[in-house]
Amino acid sequence: MKNILCIGTGGTIASELVSDGLAPELNAEQLLHYVPQIREFCCPTCLQIFSIDSTNMSPSRWLQMAACIREHYDEYDGFVITHGTDTMAYSAAALSYLIQQCPKPIILTGAQKPIGSDNTDSKINLEDAFRCACSPLRGVMVVFNGKVIRGTRARKTHSKSFRAFSSINYPELAYIQDGHVLSFIQPDCAERPIFYDRLGERVALLKMIPGTDSALLEWLLEHNDALIIESFGVGGMPSYRGSEFYDLIAHAIARGKTIVMTTQVENEGSNLSIYSVGNRLKTELGVLEAYDMTTEAVVAKLMWILGQTQDPQQIRRLFYAPISEDLLHPASDS
C-alpha cells in the first residue's frame, strides 16, 4: 500500500460549533477517525501544520505548506491537504507555482459541512482525495464532489452546495465514481519537482464597477508592485474621465509597476484587442493580459514571479510562460 501524508490546515471540514459559530477544532488524525476505510487501501500519516479558518489564509501559509511537502517529499507517495473551501482555489494555484512539474499527486480537499455533521460531504471528499493521492495522477489538484481539478484552474463557484468547485476554461482531469479514479488527462511532470520558497506579496486586485474613481487606482498602484484589474467583458478601461486612467497606468508602468488586465466574466477569458477601450492598453502601454487564466491563478503567479525577479522583461516572460496549464494564449505576446 502507498504511504500518504495528510497535512491538516483547518477549514470547515475540521470545524465544530463554538460560542460564536463554526471554528476549526479537529486535527488531521481526528478527521481520519471518521473515515476508517482509508486505512484499507493506503498507509496515512497525519501532520497538523496550522489550524485556521481559510479566510485567514496568507502567502506565508502557502510557503509553509510547500515547505512541508518539500521536507517530507521523499518519504511519501502522495499528499493530501485538508483545507477550508473559501480560499482553497488560491492555495491550489499558489502551490502549483511553488511546486512545479511534480510527479506525485498533491491533493487539496475540504468540505461544505463539518465532518461531524449530519449529511456532510466531508467523508466522501476525504476518501476521494486519498484515492487520488494513491493514483497515477500528478501535480497539484483540487478534489471535490467527485471532480479532480487542476490547481491553476479551480474556482469556488457555489458558496453552500456540495458542488462547490468548477474547473474554469479547462476540462476536469478525472472523476471519482464508486471508489475508482477515472482519469482523462495526465499532466506533464519531471523526474523530480522544482520547489520555490519565495513570494512577492505586494500584489493587489481592483474590481472595476461603473463609476470607479481613478483615485482608487492611483492609491493601489502607489502601494503595490503589481496590480490586477478585473474589468468588464473582454477587457478595457473607462474613458469617462478622459485619459486619466490610461495616464495613471502609463506612469506606473514607467516606474516599473506590473499591471495585468483580466475580466470579471468567469468563462472564456479576455481579449483586449477587440474594443478601443482595451486595445490601447495592450498596444501602447504594454499592460499584460490574463486571457483565460483565473484571477486566483493570476494573483498567485504574480506573487511567485515577484519572488524571483523585479525585471519587467523577465516578469513579462514568466507571466506568459504556461505553467501547470494555467494559460493558453497567442505566442506573440511573450
Looking at the structure, tell me whether residues 242 and 294 fall in a common domain. yes
Q: For residue range 148-159, list pLDDT tens digits in order.
A: 999 999 999 999
Q: Do 238 and 120 belong to one domain?
A: no
**Domain assignment of residue 207, given as a range:** 203-333
182 and 95 assigned to the same domain: yes
pLDDT at 312: 95
pLDDT in tens, 58-81: 999 999 999 999 999 999 999 999
In this structure, are residues 300 and 96 in contact, taking their beta carbons and an 8 Å threshold? Answer: yes
Same domain? For 34 and 64 the reply is: yes
Give the residue from 135, 161, 195 where a domain finishes. Answer: 195
Same domain, 19 and 120: yes
**Lowest-pLDDT range, 16-20, 254-258, 286-290, 313-317?**
16-20
Q: Are residues 273 and 155 in the same domain?
A: no
What CATH number does residue 313 fall under?
3.40.50.40
Arithmetic mean of pLDDT, 182-186:
91
Show which residues are catalytic: 12
Tell me, yes or no, whether 250 and 185 share the same domain.
Answer: no
> Do both 152 and 212 map to the same domain?
no
Pairing of strands 78-82, 2-10: parallel
Distances (CA, A) of 112 to 86, 117, 179: 10, 10, 20
Beta strands per DSSP E along the chain: 2-10, 15-18, 21-24, 42-52, 78-82, 99-100, 105-109, 139-144, 147-150, 154-156, 165-167, 174-177, 180-183, 194-195, 203-207, 226-231, 258-263, 288-289
Residues 168 and 236 occupy one common structural domain: no
The CATH number linked to 28 is: 3.40.50.1170
Q: What pLDDT shows up at residue 325?
A: 96
Shared-domain flag, residues 159 and 118: yes
Q: How far apart are CA 143 and CA 165, in angstroms?
A: 9
Distance of alpha carbon 52 from alpha carbon 14, whole angstroms = 9
Instruction: Name the domain boundary from 132, 162, 195.
Output: 195
CB 260 within 8 A of CB 303: no
232 alpha-carbon distance from chain centroid: 22
Assess whether 173 and 247 both reside in one domain. Answer: no
Count of the separate structural domains present in the chain: 2
- Judge if 186 and 62 occupy the same domain: yes
Rounded average pLDDT over 204-227:
96
Percent of the chain with pLDDT over 90: 91
Amino acid type, 315: I
Question: Given a cut of 80, is residue 330 above it in pLDDT?
Answer: no
